[in-house]
Amino acid sequence: MNTARSFLGKNVNLHLKDGAVIVNVQFSEITKDEFNKESFVKCVPFRKTNEFRIPMRNIAWAEQLNINLIFPGDKN
């Protein structure tokens, strides 16, 4: 949970436990379902407005990206 908080507002590649990779998303919020006692991460794809939720238990690790290396001189 604390590690996920450190990535809030930053662009990351999400590596899931099933081997899939979700490329270039931004962590927007961490929520907890009070009924199931499960934590979720809300993510926003780069330059998109729609959000999606991923259970924290499905995330293996997150790799922080440096957007300035990918899009030099780009503000958004």
Distance CA 1, CA 69 (A): 28
pTM: 0.75
pLDDT tens for 22-73 read 999 998 888 888 888 899 999 998 878 889 999 999 999 999 887 666 555 5
Mind listing the domains of the chain with CATH numbers? 2-66 (2.30.30)
Report helix, strand or coil for 72: coil
Cα torsion 56, 29, 72, 61 to 10°: value is -10
Distance CA 4, CA 8 (A): 7
pLDDT at residue 74 greater than cutoff 60 = no
Distance CA 40, CA 57 (A): 8
